Every structure is written in C-alpha cells, then in structure tokens.
Structure 1
Amino acid sequence: MSPTRKNVVEASGFKVENAVSTRKISKNYGPVEALRNLSLDFPKGQLTSLLGPSGCGKTTLLKIIAGLLEPTSGEVEVNGRAVTGPGPDRAFVFQDFALLPWASVLRNVAFGLELRGVAKSEREAVAEKYIRDVGLAGFEKNYPHELSGGMRQRVGLARALAVDSEVLLMDEPFSAVDEQTRRKFQEDLLNLVQTENKTFIFVTHSIEEAVYVSDQIAILLPRPSRVSEIIRPAGFRSKGAENIRRDLEYLDIVDRIWASLRTYVE
C-alpha cells in the first residue's frame, strides 16, 4: 500500500475520505485476547464513537490509534501513512484530565506548542483563543486545583485543540462530570465538530451520548473485540442540538443499540 495514497470510500453516493483506518488489528495481553482482526474506517471531518460493553477494548483501540500501544498484529493508517508511534497528527484527551498541577490554565493549554518549540507569544495567543472557545475566558491565570472537574476537562480539550492535530482521540472525556455539565459539553462538542474541521474518535459507555454526538457509531463486541455494527445517524443532524433528544430517529437508534447490547450486560 502506498504511504501517501488517500483512503477514499463511497458512502451513500458521496465520496468520503477516511482520516484513520485500522486494518485487522489484534491485541493480546499475555493470554488475554483484547482485540481480534478489527478493521474500521474513520471518515475525515466527522465524529466516530466507539461503543460497547465494559472491557471490550475501546480504550485499547484508541491507544493503538494514538501510537501509545503497539498492536500484536495489523496496522493503523492516518491520512494514508502507517502509524508507528505517537505523532503530531493526533492529540489525546484523557479521561482524568492529565493536567500539569504546577502550571496555569494558559500554560497547560499552550504546553503542547511549547514542546514543539513554538515562540511564547505565538503559543499563548493560540492558547487564549481555545480557552475562549471552550468557555474559560478569565481563568487563564488559575491553576488546576482551583477549577471544577468540568473546567479541568475543558482545559484538557483546549490543550488538544491548540496543537491543531488533525485527529482528536477522546477517552470518555465527559464521564467525570455531572449530568448538566455533560449535556453542555455534548452541545459544545457538536459545535467543535462543525467548526474545527478535525476528525474526532470518541470513546463512551453512554448509548444516548454516542447517538447524540456521532456521525458514525461503531458497536464493538465483548472481548476479543470486533466490530459488530456501524450506525450512521443522519436525519436529525440538521434539526439543531436542542431538538435531537426528542427526534424519533434518535430515540429509535438508542433503543436499537440497547437491544443489541443488553445481552452483554451482567
């Protein structure tokens, strides 16, 4: 396979370019087989959720795409190039925030650019933009211990956006916040997908959340994980974030996914 070949597929009569492709990914932890021959494409500029029972390998797959874990077999491509480790084309938003406790919000958000050697004035200007975009204007000088859990997660998201990676990998980023904050985050995420022109890969345990935020949902089977089904919600996307949860297609997809997963819930 050519390292520069663009991965393009036909979907619903339109050409869709895939930002990320996994091909026959398997991952073993000693005798435990976490993933088996898992193949999945992630369309460019869209949000794909990985959904499935606990322990089905969602985070393992995300870390393999990030280059943080090496698969036992198979390959990952980002924009047609093989992944051999972490790279600037991917940014990770961790579940536990992973902020620098000794650094201000501004420096935390700018830290990825600092590691790349970007000049201080430039990286701080970029950081300030994304701090505003995630709703934290005025908190630039605060430290993580002075922020709520939701605010710390916004800092982590702003940091990932600031490095301007093409692919954002999000590992249950909203699981540690209350329901009201989580709903606001979901609305904000929809806006980011529309405005940032990035590819989002999103791990969640919530069926409702996956259907609400996703262009594509990949349902994974229990270990050893494979793709059971791919669902592409469509009809309610143009109706506005505030109307999605009342839409009949949204409700039908939630029920359909629950029916397919309930047999795996102990």
Structure 2
Amino acid sequence: MSQIKPALVAVPGSDIAVSTRNITKFYGYVEALRDLSLEFPRGQLTSLLGPSGCGKTTLLKIIGGLLEPTSGEVEVNGQTVTGPGPDRAFVFQDFALLPWASVMRNVAFGLEMRGVGRSEREDIAARYIKEVGLAGFEKAYPHQLSGGMRQRVGLARALSVDAQVLLMDEPFSAVDEQTRRKFQEDLLSLVQNENKTFIFVTHSIEEAVYVSDQIAILLPRPSRVSEIIRPSNFREKGVDNIRRDPEYLDIVDQIWSSLRSYVE
C-alpha cells in the first residue's frame, strides 16, 4: 500500500533539490495558494495533482521564477529563487517551438542563447534528438512534424541545456492516447537515466500514479498540500505490468476518493 507523508518530511535516502516554503500567491483579491510547503527529492519525479484551478501551474511558474510569490520562498539546490535560472527548464503543453527553425535549431536554441559554440551545441542537441527518438529529423521544421514529435522536440530542448530541474506543465495533454502512453514510458526511462529532478503537472490520476515517485495532492483554491503519496515498488516490475498491479489500482482509487468531492 502507498505511504502517506506530510509535506516537508524528507524521503529516506534522498536529498532535496527543490523546497517551497509557506508559499502564498494572490492575483488581486483572489488567493491562489495559501502557505504551501513542499519538498521535491533530487533525481525523482513529483507530480502535482488536483482539481482544475487549484494552482498547480501557478506553483510551477513560481518554482521556475516566472512568477513571484506574494509571500514565502523557493529554494533550488539551497539557493533562493529570485527569477528564471539555468538550473531549471520548462517543457510546455503547447510545445513553444520556433516555427521558422529546424529541429536541430530548436533543440539547440537554449544553448545558443547561452553563447555555446555552434559545433558544441549541435553535438549536444544531436544526442538528445536521438534520445527522444527523433534521429533523422534534425532538418525538419515544426509544421512537418506530428504533435507527438513536436513535443519530443520540446523535451529534447529542455534536456539539452542540462538543467537539473525540469518543470513539465501538462506536457502530454495535447497528444493522442497512444502517443501519451509511449511518452509516459519514455519519461520513466528519462527519470531513471538522466539523474534530474522532474516536477510534473497533470490532471490525470492514472498518469500521475504511473510516472511518479511522489504525488502531491493539492486542495482547491486557495491551494494547500492535502497529502503526499509515495508508491512503493510496482514500477520496478516493468512498464508492461504497472497498470495491472494491485498497488497501482489501489492508489488510483485512493486519489479519486480524495478528489471526488471537489469535482463539479
């Protein structure tokens, strides 16, 4: 069965890459987040899950330095966040690609903005283009790619800048179900192989349980952490067995029971 831990309890054997402490955020008179504290273990994937409008994307943007909290603070690797930084990279829901640039140029764009030389940045980009399954499409343009392929370009771009924290805002919601499942499998491999910290926003309970080391359940606005769920070992049984595992099914039901009353 899953283990439920309160926020800010360290995970045994893990250190903490990102901490949010007492985050409150107002939009005018609307309180989106209230005194929200949460820790994200290094090298693991944490999903933010909750009803629509509960502040998941707001929290992600505050961690990314794109929004300032009204009060509270965020630390990444022990350093207080004051704005965007090279230690964090975004993977967006809408791909956010440069339509006039090739796959290679899109993936290498972050490195180009950092002043990395062309030969070096293209070598790095080529590695991640291959890793996300797009080898052979380096010269293609976004309009020539499917939605799933465009999302792979966005993922390769985030990986190529070697940020230690990847912030993923519903990255699979715009693709079909078959592509989404393949992305979920690929994401598990990336978490295992890349040694990065992933913070993943999703509306899908099944997706959160499938990909996550830790699931933070957020309450409706003003958002706080309701509970933290850490699946134990069903992901070690192989991607083909996860969705049939009794623990997976129990956690999906447990989360739905927690969220059912908040769904209109």
TM bucket by the smaller chain?
A: over 0.9
> Any idea what the Cα deviations from partners look like across 1:73-106, whole Å, max 9, x if unmatched?
0000000000000000000001100000000000
Structure 2 CA distance for aligned equivalents of residues 195 and 77 of structure 1: 24
Kindly report which structure 2 residues correspond to 1:196-207, keeping only aligned pairs within 5 A, or say none: 196-207=194-205
Structure 2 CA distance for aligned equivalents of residues 49 and 179 of structure 1: 19
Provide the TM-score with structure 1 as the length reference: 0.95
Kindly report which structure 2 residues correspond to 1:30-49, keeping only aligned pairs within 5 A, or say none: 30-49=28-47
Structure 1 CA distance for aligned equivalents of residues 231 and 197 of structure 2: 17
1:154 equivalent among 152, 155, 158: 152
**Structure 2 unaligned blocks of 5 or more:** 1-7
Amino acid in the other structure paired with 2:191:
V
- Equivalent position of 2:215 in the other structure: 217
- Equivalent position of 2:21 in the other structure: 23
What is the DSSP-based 3-state SS (H/G/I as helix, E as strand, rest coil) of the residue aligned with 1:96? coil
- Equivalent position of 2:122 in the other structure: 124
Is the CA contact (8 Å cut-off) linking 2:45 and 2:200 kept in structure 1? yes
> Any idea what the Cα deviations from partners look like across 1:81-137, whole Å, max 9, x if unmatched?
000000000000011000000000000000000000001000000000100000001
**Structure 1's 255 and 192: CA in aligned 2 closer, same or farther, altered over 3 A?**
same
Kindly report which structure 2 residues correspond to 1:140-151, keeping only aligned pairs within 5 A, or say none: 140-151=138-149
Structure 2 CA distance for aligned equivalents of residues 244 and 215 of structure 1: 13
Structure 2 CA distance for aligned equivalents of residues 255 and 221 of structure 1: 17
Pair 1:186-2:200 in alignment: no
Provide the TM-score with structure 2 as the length reference: 0.96
Shift, 1:143, TM fit: 0.4
Shift, 1:242, TM fit: 1.1
Is the CA contact (8 Å cut-off) linking 2:10 and 2:39 kept in structure 1? no
- Equivalent position of 2:102 in the other structure: 104
- Equivalent position of 1:170 in the other structure: 168
Is the CA contact (8 Å cut-off) linking 2:10 and 2:16 kept in structure 1? no
Amino acid in the other structure paired with 1:131:
I
Structure 1 CA distance for aligned equivalents of residues 178 and 202 of structure 2: 17
**Structure 1's 66 and 72: CA in aligned 2 closer, same or farther, altered over 3 A?**
same
- The number of residues matched between the two structures is 257
Amino acid in the other structure paired with 1:204:
T
Is the CA contact (8 Å cut-off) linking 1:9 and 1:18 kept in structure 2? no
The sequence identity of aligned pairs, in percent, is 83
Pair 1:195-2:181 in alignment: no
Amino acid in the other structure paired with 2:144:
E
Shift, 1:235, TM fit: 2.1
Choose between structure 1 and 2 for higher RCO, CA contacts under 8 A separated by at least 6 residues. 2
Is the CA contact (8 Å cut-off) linking 1:9 and 1:15 kept in structure 2? no
Structure 1 CA distance for aligned equivalents of residues 81 and 128 of structure 2: 27
Runs of 4+ in 1 over 2 A off after TM superposition: 8-11
What is the DSSP-based 3-state SS (H/G/I as helix, E as strand, rest coil) of the residue aligned with 2:175? coil
> Any idea what the Cα deviations from partners look like across 1:49-81, whole Å, max 9, x if unmatched?
000000000000000000000000000000000
Amino acid in the other structure paired with 2:261:
T
- Equivalent position of 1:87 in the other structure: 85
2:69 equivalent among 56, 68, 71: 71
Q: CA RMSD in A?
A: 0.9
Amino acid in the other structure paired with 1:62:
L
After the TM superposition, which of the residue ranges 153-162 and 14-23 deviates more from structure 2? Answer: 14-23
Shift, 1:234, TM fit: 1.3
- Equivalent position of 1:250 in the other structure: 248
Structure 1 CA distance for aligned equivalents of residues 151 and 117 of structure 2: 25
Is the CA contact (8 Å cut-off) linking 1:9 and 1:17 kept in structure 2? no
Structure 1 CA distance for aligned equivalents of residues 68 and 46 of structure 2: 21
